[in-house]
Each structure stands twice: as structure tokens, then as C-alpha cells.
Amino acid sequence: MMFDVSYLINELILPLAAVFVNGFVCKNSMDVKAEDFFFDGLNPGNPNKLGSVVNLVNVEKIPGLNTLGISLARIDFAPFGLNPPHTHPRATEILTVIEGELYVGFVTSYLNGGGNKLFTKLLKKGDVFVFPQGLIHFQFNKGHTNAVAIAGLSSQNPGAITIANAVFGSKLPISDDVLAKAFQVDKKTVDWLQAQFWRDNNN
Amino acid sequence: MMFDVSYLINELILPLAAVFVNGFVCKNSMDVKAEDFFFDGLNPGNPNKLGSVVNLVNVEKIPGLNTLGISLARIDFAPFGLNPPHTHPRATEILTVIEGELYVGFVTSYLNGGGNKLFTKLLKKGDVFVFPQGLIHFQFNKGHTNAVAIAGLSSQNPGAITIANAVFGSKLPISDDVLAKAFQVDKKTVDWLQAQFWRDNNN
Amino acid sequence: MMFDVSYLINELILPLAAVFVNGFVCKNSMDVKAEDFFFDGLNPGNPNKLGSVVNLVNVEKIPGLNTLGISLARIDFAPFGLNPPHTHPRATEILTVIEGELYVGFVTSYLNGGGNKLFTKLLKKGDVFVFPQGLIHFQFNKGHTNAVAIAGLSSQNPGAITIANAVFGSKLPISDDVLAKAFQVDKKTVDWLQAQFWRDNNN
Amino acid sequence: MMFDVSYLINELILPLAAVFVNGFVCKNSMDVKAEDFFFDGLNPGNPNKLGSVVNLVNVEKIPGLNTLGISLARIDFAPFGLNPPHTHPRATEILTVIEGELYVGFVTSYLNGGGNKLFTKLLKKGDVFVFPQGLIHFQFNKGHTNAVAIAGLSSQNPGAITIANAVFGSKLPISDDVLAKAFQVDKKTVDWLQAQFWRDNNN
Amino acid sequence: MMFDVSYLINELILPLAAVFVNGFVCKNSMDVKAEDFFFDGLNPGNPNKLGSVVNLVNVEKIPGLNTLGISLARIDFAPFGLNPPHTHPRATEILTVIEGELYVGFVTSYLNGGGNKLFTKLLKKGDVFVFPQGLIHFQFNKGHTNAVAIAGLSSQNPGAITIANAVFGSKLPISDDVLAKAFQVDKKTVDWLQAQFWRDNNN
Amino acid sequence: MMFDVSYLINELILPLAAVFVNGFVCKNSMDVKAEDFFFDGLNPGNPNKLGSVVNLVNVEKIPGLNTLGISLARIDFAPFGLNPPHTHPRATEILTVIEGELYVGFVTSYLNGGGNKLFTKLLKKGDVFVFPQGLIHFQFNKGHTNAVAIAGLSSQNPGAITIANAVFGSKLPISDDVLAKAFQVDKKTVDWLQAQFWRDNNN
């Protein structure tokens, strides 16, 4: 195969070359510039069907974040908007409310017959709450006005798993044998739920 | 308050003194013994109502594991037994089948309009599969015979979150407003599911 | 010495017992509650003499943050307020502007005859900027209106070193021999600078 | 030099592109598939001359393990088979016996006039033992039947250093001046030992 | 673009291929040789204008150090030579004096109204001192004879920020509005200082 | 039990309270002082029977090193002195020669039929060499004059395992069945070696 290598260079090699491993900057660190540490759109977007929208600034949006172990998100809530139960597989989240109020909670990990406890708080403007790494958590705007939160996450690529979507809306679907047994419902209910999420999974 | 400090010493201080931080052993490391690195019961237990039972050997069972970043589990499956969709908030799992067969899978993290994909395999004896940190995964024995797996986990305290139990069976329950919206079902369905899990949450 | 151990228990032992090491929760984890993950005062304070005020929510304010590797700050700026050149010895900072505008910058680390470069940006509302771990950085409100920023930091105890204060205002003072030579000024200038910071070091 | 770059792409660039750094998946993560997390041969092999065989599933066998900090091994023992004293330079090992019995041990690190202690246990089926990172350890089947163990290791690339082979059988050999002095034997004994291991070093 | 890919291979790809990630050695590890772990010039150099010279052996000089988290430096001091106040953004330093004497110190991080304290020691030959990660520190030879120190640093790429140079001598300069306010001097003084460092910044 | 708690406080609680976890300083950090970062005896000692002496400054000698991930050693060699084959289970070592010459080497980890290679160098004054974490290495003074080295290690508690002592001189001894098989010698030779090391193990 003989071909133009500019794609190769621009799309595969340079992005890799931009990677720092544990603080070791490659030679072309001389080409780093302010833009590599900048992103200009942490703005509200269009709420999804649950009335919320998450804008996450991670290493895909700011390449200079790589290996630095942090990212930042803005979450906007319409009245009665919900950021539904989800986890970040690689990050703890610390969140503050900058507008409105949010009812928030997380469920602890199962531990020797204990754990599996729900911890909740009603957060007002200026309140701060922590969602420890990997735990299922949610934020809910119970009020008639908008709410806005800013959150820090302890990874440059925290990931997000929306429980309902991952369980009932994955591509390909999880076998309904598995889900019926796990959720203790009949397969028809599972199939109906999966149909919901297949159709609407445009979060 | 004036009182007998032996409880104080034996229950609170010595366990703390046993903690290594990053390999630094406290003075009473002279008292460490083989038993601190040993556990004698990685045996099958009684399957739960889903037909599986997990026996996890973590830092609570082997104190010498502290700071060493690993634990081990044995999972037994009755015919058609299920280890239902769950996550380990602080660990990757690598599993091998030592008896029978298992149908296993995990769902990837959501990522920029991609992700949320189901990856599955039918594992035979001697096959190995990896469930990356924090991702939702399950193991299902589709066959008429027992199955047994051994798994390593990359934390001395990996934690486990059974999705259905954490979502519908937490103590206290998550508000049905939240769950009805998240799962796109009516509150009655949520209340019924929560009743299931409240009654039976003896995993 | 024979005495009441209640202080001992409440002030020394229990706080230690609350420490997680790498996710291992001590036995009294059963006593953890929502308040351990909550702080209710990420509000603006009174600007210091440079026209800024930093409100940092770290592990001292939220004990549940321990080992989780993240904290959050709010920074308020009066018109022409400055958060002067400083470093966080244990954290990267990712900041977004939620009100007004900020002129921000950092200086890269010295590297083989390169480095020591200033990178700056004028940030508007919704813009995000990253200050990599340990690098000297500042935020300056060049405008006639207030400005507000929220920042995530990649440590539960990031620390902060305000350069001018650490160099000229430490308790005890750095020898003026050292500072005169380092800054290439005469000792009188150093002594005058040190007098400034000794008197006013109430950041 | 002008040449076909397909080797370049397939052998050098794509494997690199497959590397995650701290959870950051490169763009071609879209091409990740179940096979990247799967290995189908954790089976017994032919015992070596000491009567044991180690089958290690690390990042070379499962590329998806990269950065995930774990691997898994199966060790088979003929009657009186020995997994001789060795270390894993980058991992702690947690092992369980699934068939037969094993006599196992490790020697602690030297510490201020203490340490250098041997800890041993006779493990039966279902027993678990931990070999902390970097310590010399062994497993010995003292019985007349086969034995089998499964072990988790806290690195995707734990490494293994068989002491006798590394000391007396390295390619090139360690100077017999060094070994004679270290082991307090004459050079002839060292030379004889080195000849043994050079000839047979086909572990 | 159609061109000779030898530069591409030699300068961009092979150096990347040499990177280990968390101990995972790429396939061409077979080509690793003793030279990759060796450097032959930790010798004294020519003191700079402050009378000191730092010779740092990091991952740029020894490629095999990558991911190993350590580097080594030799620092030579002429009589009255100063290694001026600086930080290492990614490393703790542990230093010993092997010739002469050194007056050393560091300033602690600011903490809740405390911190910002100077800790100093006069080190004689054989004394050891620790400068914790990211804190401002200096070493000063107060005597009429040369002094030499060897230091270990806890990163393969510790970085170095000389405070005076980074603040007053960066390329481009920090705005004198910022510096005048931060150091509480008038802009003319700042401009004069910046001129000093622009002219002489050949550390 | 009713007793004087001063021992309890001074010996058990305060040392624990001095521990930082990931940079989090306990309240009594106000009592930290320069001495916590200082050690005054990195001097040559009396060579052992092999003609070398290691003086390691780790967290036991400098409490302030805890969690900082580094330590420092001085190694003195008489003519023909040997620092015999050993490993550091928790650290990489970077060493420079400050007097005389040293012949040094390490053996790589076994890897898929490769590895187990000896890498050596003759180091002169000013040369630097790296011994990667956990690998067996040695330093040998082949000359008629003394030699001195300084080494940084990437852990506050690197540990040291002298191979010959750990294998043949542990307290209790490793079974001669195990060692005879591992080293391919008869049990009498093992017993004789063990007698050597039991008698002389005063390193």
C-alpha cells in the first residue's frame, strides 16, 4: 500500500505524540500552546427528554488535560428536570449549585450485609456535595425554576453510565432472560422497557 | 470520662496501627504473622434466589491485603443461576471459568454519542474475560449443570453495586419521582418494584 | 499521666479512624452519614486587599473527600481584582468563568533551555482553562464589573502557595542574602518588600 | 526511503493507538471489540522439569488489560512439583487452591535488623494466601496427587523472576566473582551451577 | 503529501514505541540494552551567575527511566553560590551534601491561616534534607569553599520553576499590572526587574 | 485495665497522627518542624563481610518522607567489596558513583521465552545507572581503592531483599526439599549453605 501519509501524521501520530505519560512531555512539547488548555463552550445546551443536559469538558475537548486527572462539567436543569441515576466508572464528582436548588443522592456500595444505603440532601445555591467514585447517584430539580450546577471530576476521562440506558438501552440489548431475572419482572416488561430505550436513546 | 482503655487499644488503635501506608509498615510490623495473609474459606456457599453466590476475599478477610490493591473471589452458579448486572466501583475484574460454562457481558461507558455497547462471550472452562473498572457486567449460567468461576479484582476493597438492588432496594428508597422518570415507567410500577426488593433484599 | 480519655478518643482517634486508605473503610463506616459528603458555604466572602477571595472546599471541610483526589473552589473578583501568581503543589486546576471575564495565565516549567513560557487567555463566561499541576498561574479581572469562577482541583488537599507571600512574607523570613541574589536587587529593596508582606500578610 | 507503509500502520501505529493512558481511549476506541477482553487458553500445560507449569494471562494475551492493573494465572503441579522461589517485581499475588494441597511461603523484606522471616502455610482446597509485592515466594506440592491453583496479580504486566535462573542462568552469566562472594561458595561451585542452568534454562 | 517516512519512523514513532505504560514493555523491548539505563555525565558544569549549576539526569537523558518515577541531580556551588528559590511541580527532593556546607530551606504551603512557614537547616557533609513536592525551596553556600550536593527526585520528569525567572523573566512577560499588584510595588520597579531577567535569563 | 496512657499517646497515637494520607496533613501539622525533614548521618559505616555497607535514609529515619515516595542511600565499598545480588520490592534505584569505580548489573524479568538477560556497565565517577523496580541487581568494586555511590530510590520504604540471605538464611529456614529442587543441588549442599548463612547473617 503506497499512499499519502498526511492523514497518518495528522490524525494518528500527532495526537499520540501529544500524550504525556506521567509528566513526560514528548519532544514536540515545544509546539504546545495556550489553546491546548482551553475550551470555549461550557454553556447550557438543550435539555434532553428528562429535562437536563450535561456538558462535560474532558480530555477529548482539552487535550492538555491528559494524565492530569481532572475534568469539569456544567449541568443544566429545566423545572422538574432529572439527571437520572448514573455512575462515573473512573471518577469521584464534587458538585456545587450555582442557580436554583437540587435534590441529590447516592447509594453506597454493598458491604458485608450493610451498605446499599441512600444518602440525600437538598442543595441550595452555594452548597457542595460529593459523589464518591463509581457509586450510583442522581440530581433532581424539584422546583419550578431552572437549576444549574458545576462539578469537578477526578479523571480526565471520567466516563458516564446512565443506569436505565445501559441496562435497557444498550447496543446490542442485554438478553431478556438476564434482565427479567435480575429485576424480578416478566420478560414482556423487559421487552417493553427495552423498546422504550431503543427508540429514545438519544441522550 | 474515666474508663478501661483495653477496648480502645484492641479495637481502635491496633487495627489502625496495622495499616500500611504505601508500604510503610508501623513498628509493630514485628508482630505480623502468616495468618495475616491467609483465609481459609473460599468455598461455595448457598446460592441466593437468583441462583448464584459470590465469595469475595478482600481486606476485611485478609488484613495483610491492605494497600496491596488486589482481592480474589469465587462465584458459584446453580443451573440457570445469574450473577445479575452489577459494578465494582473501585476495581477491574478478570475472571476464568473452572467448571461449566458462563454467558458473560459488559456494557461500555457512554462516550460522545458512541459507547453504551454490549460486549458478550460464552465462556467455557479455561476461558478468561475482563470486566473493566466500574462498567456494568453480568455472568449467566445458561446450562443445566453447575458453573464455577474464580476472579481477581484490582483493589483490596473493590465494592459491589448490584444495579437492581441499589436502584430499587436501597435503604432508604430512592424517590419514585426520580425512578419513574429515569426508567420511563409509571410510579405504580416503581412502587411495585421497590416492594419486591425491600422484601427480598437479602443478597 | 492519668486522665480523661474522652478528648483522646474524640479528637485524635476517631478522626484517624475515619480515614480511608485506598478505599478501605474502617469498621465504623457504619456511622458515615450524608453530612460527611456535604458543605454548605461555597459562597462569596470579603475580597482581600488584591480584590479577590478564594473559597476552597477541601478535605478539611468535607471529611468524606479523603483519598478521593478532588476538591472544588469558588473565586470572586472585585473590579480589577487579582488572584496573584501562585501554585498548587499537589493539584491541577480546571476553571470556568460563571460571571464577568478573567485574564488568566500560567508559566511553563523550565526544560532544557526551553520552557518558562507564559500562556494566557481572556476568558469569557462559559470558557474553561487548565492550570497544570505545580505551575505558577494567576487570574486577573481587567474589567469594571465583578467576576466569579468555579474551579475543580485534582487533590483533596491541593495546597496553595502565593508566590509573593511565600517569598517575601514567610514566617520566619527568608534571608535577605538569598532573596537579594535571587531577585537581583539590593538588600534594602528586599527588606522593604519583606516589611510589606509581614505587615499585610492576612490573605 | 520510500516504501509501503502498511507494516508501519499495522505493526507500529495501531498497537500504540490501542493503548489507553489512564482510561483515555483513543479515537479508534470505536473499533474495540469483545475479543480484546478475552483469552481462551487458561489451561494446564506441560509441567517443566521441576513439576510445575505457570499459565499467565497478562496484557500480552489480553490487550484490553492495558492500564487496568490486573492479570490472572493458573498454576499446575505434578506430584512433588515445585514453583520455585521467585518474585513478581511489579505485583502482589493472591492465590487459591482449587485442587490438591500446596505448601507455600514467602520471606519478608530485610528491615533494621529484623525482617528476613519465612512465613508458610499448608493450603487446602479453598484456602487463600497473599504474596506481597516483590517478595520471594514459592509453592510446593508435597503430595502424591496433582494440585492446581488460580492466582490474581495486581499488574497487567507483573513480570516473574525465578531466583535460581536469574542468578545462575541469566544470558550473559553474572561474573563468578560476584556469585562466589555472594553465596559464600568457591568459584567452581558457581561455575557448576551456572552450567546446570545454562543447559536447562528452558522454563 | 508524499514523502520519505524515515524521519517519521525514527523521530516520531520509535520514541513513542519506547514508552512503557505502567510497566508494559512494547514488543521491541527485545531491543532494550544497558545503554538505555546509563548516563555518563553527572559532572560539575560551569556555575551560572548566581554561583551554582544543576545537572539533572531525567528521562530525557536516560530513556529507561520512563514510568519509573525517579531522577537524580548533582548541584555544584561556588563560594557564596545560590540555587535560588524554586519548585519542582511534579517531585519531592531528598538531598545530601557530599562536599562543603549548605544552608537550605523551604516554605510550607498556606493552610487555613497557618502554614507559610520557613523551615531551614545548615547541612554539613553527610546531612540529608527533604523538600516536599511543589514547595518553594533554596540551597545557599554561605562559605568560602565549594559545596556539592546529590539529590534524588520522585519523578522521571520533575520539572523546575525558578521563581524569580518564571515571575519576572518568562517569555512573554507577565503583565506588569499583575506583578505590580501581586508584589505591591510600582510598575516601574516591575519593568526594571523584568528587564533584568529578560537580559540575563540564560540559566 | 486502667493505666497510664502516656505511652499510648506518645508511642502509638502520635506517630499515627503524623502520617499524611495523600498529602492530607492532620491537625497537629502545626507541630511539624524542620527536624521532621532532616537526618544527620548519611556517613560511611563499617563494611560487612562482603566489603560493603549500605546506609539507607528512609521514612524510619525521616518521618516527613511519609507518602512522598522517595528515599536516599549511600553505599561504601572497600577494595573488592560487593553489594551482593538483591532487589528492592517497592522501588526503582538510580545510582551515581562519587568515588572510585563500580561494576554494576541487573537481570531483566522473564518474558515469553525472552528476558532473563544480564545488563552490565563499568561505572566511573559521574556515571549514572538505573536498576528498575524489583529486578535483581548488584554493585561490585573490582579495584584496589575504595568506591562510594549515592542512590535515589522511588519509595519512602523501598525494602531490600538480599537474595542469598533471603533464600539460604531466612528465619525460619526454607525447606531443603524446596531449595535442593530449585537450585538443582543435593540437600547436603543446601544444608551446608543454610548453615553458612544462619551463622553469619549479620548483614
Residue type, F28: N
Does residue B108 belong to any structural domain of this protein?
Answer: yes
pLDDT digits (tens, 9 = 90+) for E44-70: 989 999 999 999 999 989 999 988 999
Does residue C81 belong to any structural domain of this protein?
Answer: yes
- Same domain, residue pair D121 and D174: no
CA distance F121 to chain B (A): 31
- Same domain, residue pair C53 and C152: yes
Cβ–Cβ below 8 Å for A23 and E159: yes
Which of B4, B21, B25 has the CB atom closest to F2's CB atom?
Answer: B4
Residue of D nearest to E8 (CA): D8
Does residue D12 register a pLDDT over 80? no
Does residue B166 register a pLDDT over 70? yes
Please state the rounded mean pLDDT for residues A83-103.
Answer: 98
What is the reported pLDDT for B99?
A: 97
Contact D4, A2 (CB under 8 A): yes
Cell of C30: 457504619
Does residue F136 belong to any structural domain of this protein?
Answer: yes
Domain boundary among D159, D174, D192: D159
| CA gap C35, E132 in Å, rounded | 32
> Binding residue per annotation — D86?
yes
Q: Check contact C-E (3+ Cβ pairs < 8 Å).
A: yes
Residue B45: band (very low, low, confident or very high) from pLDDT cuts 50, 70, 90:
confident
> Binding residue per annotation — E86?
yes
Does residue F2 register a pLDDT over 50? no
Q: Give how far Cα A177 sits from Cα of A195, A199, B140, B142, Å.
A: 15, 21, 9, 9
Residue C196: band (very low, low, confident or very high) from pLDDT cuts 50, 70, 90:
confident
Does residue C48 register a pLDDT over 80? yes
Please tell me whether the peptide bond between A14 and the residue prior to it is cis, using omega within 30 degrees of 0.
no
Please state the rounded mean pLDDT for residues B95-120.
Answer: 91
Helix, strand, coil content of chain D in percent (nearest 5): 25, 30, 40
Contact D36, D63 (CB under 8 A): yes
| Chain C interface disruption, residue of B60, B65, B68, B157, most C CBs within 10 A | B157
Residue F67: band (very low, low, confident or very high) from pLDDT cuts 50, 70, 90:
confident
Please state the rounded mean pLDDT for residues C14-33.
Answer: 44
Does residue C2 register a pLDDT over 50? no
What is the reported pLDDT for F23?
A: 33
pTM for this model (two decimals): 0.89
Burial of residue F59, with CB atoms counted within 10 A of its CB: 0-12 exposed, 13-18 middle, 19 or more buried: buried
Q: To the nearest 10°, report the CA torsion of E163, E168, E170, E173.
A: 150
Residue D115: band (very low, low, confident or very high) from pLDDT cuts 50, 70, 90:
confident
- Same domain, residue pair B91 and B170: no
Does residue C31 register a pLDDT over 90? no
Of B52-61, B63-72, F10-19, F148-157, the poorest mean pLDDT is in: F10-19
What is the reported pLDDT for F152?
A: 98
- Same domain, residue pair C46 and C109: yes
Q: At A141, give phi and psi (nearest 5°).
A: -90, 100
Residue partners of F187: CB distance under 8 A and separation at least 6: F176, F177, F180
| CA gap E34, F127 in Å, rounded | 13
- Same domain, residue pair B173 and B155: no
Burial of residue F138, with CB atoms counted within 10 A of its CB: 0-12 exposed, 13-18 middle, 19 or more buried: buried
| CA gap B100, B80 in Å, rounded | 11
Please state the rounded mean pLDDT for residues F118-140.
Answer: 98
Is the sign of the CA dihedral D61, D62, D68, D70 positive or negative? Answer: negative
* Residue environment code for F152-169, b if the CB has 16+ CB neighbours within 10 A, otherwise e: bbbbbbbbbbbbbbbbbb
Cβ–Cβ below 8 Å for C71 and A152: yes
Contact A42, A57 (CB under 8 A): yes
- Same domain, residue pair B70 and B110: yes
Question: What's the total number of domains in chain E?
Answer: 2
| CA gap C90, C133 in Å, rounded | 7
Q: Give how far Cα D104 sits from Cα of B178, D95, E109, Å.
A: 53, 10, 48
- Same domain, residue pair D142 and D54: yes
Residue E29: band (very low, low, confident or very high) from pLDDT cuts 50, 70, 90:
low
| CA gap D16, C178 in Å, rounded | 48
pLDDT digits (tens, 9 = 90+) for E106-130: 999 986 667 899 999 999 999 999 9
State the CATH number of the domain containing residue B45. 2.60.120.10
Residue D139: band (very low, low, confident or very high) from pLDDT cuts 50, 70, 90:
very high
How far does Cα D18 stand from its chain's mean position? 24
- Same domain, residue pair E59 and E135: yes
| Cα angle, residue C197 at apex, residues C87 and F23 outer, rounded to 5° | 30
Helix, strand, coil content of chain E in percent (nearest 5): 25, 35, 40
Cβ–Cβ below 8 Å for B50 and A181: yes
Cβ–Cβ below 8 Å for A183 and B164: yes
Does residue D67 belong to any structural domain of this protein?
Answer: yes
Cβ–Cβ below 8 Å for C105 and E201: no
Contact B134, A80 (CB under 8 A): no
Considering only CA atoms, which of B128, B47, B138 is closest in space to residue D150? B128
Cell of C170: 514567610
Residue of B nearest to D40 (CA): B127
Does residue D28 belong to any structural domain of this protein?
Answer: no
More confident residue, A9 or E124: E124
User: What is the share, in percent, of chain B residues with pLDDT greater than 90?
Assistant: 73
Cβ–Cβ below 8 Å for D13 and A13: yes
Q: Which residues of chain D have a CB within 8 Å of the CB of A155?
A: 22-23
- Same domain, residue pair E195 and E138: no
CB atoms within 10 A of CB A8: 18
- Same domain, residue pair D116 and D189: no
Range of the domain at C177: 166-200
Residue type, A164: A
Q: At D6, give phi and psi (nearest 5°).
A: -65, -35
> Binding residue per annotation — A93?
yes
Q: At D46, give phi and psi (nearest 5°).
A: -90, 125
Does residue D3 belong to any structural domain of this protein?
Answer: no
What is the reported pLDDT for D110?
A: 80
- Same domain, residue pair C99 and C178: no
More confident residue, A14 or B30: B30
What is the reported pLDDT for E30?
A: 59
Of A34-48, A83-97, E18-32, the poorest mean pLDDT is in: E18-32
| CA gap C107, C115 in Å, rounded | 8
Does residue E117 belong to any structural domain of this protein?
Answer: yes
Number of Cβ pairs < 8 A linking chain D and chain E: 40
Considering only CA atoms, which of E131, E199, E197, E135 is closest in space to residue E167? E197
- Same domain, residue pair C130 and C187: no
Residue D24: band (very low, low, confident or very high) from pLDDT cuts 50, 70, 90:
very low
pLDDT digits (tens, 9 = 90+) for F133-148: 999 999 999 999 999 9
Does residue D76 belong to any structural domain of this protein?
Answer: yes
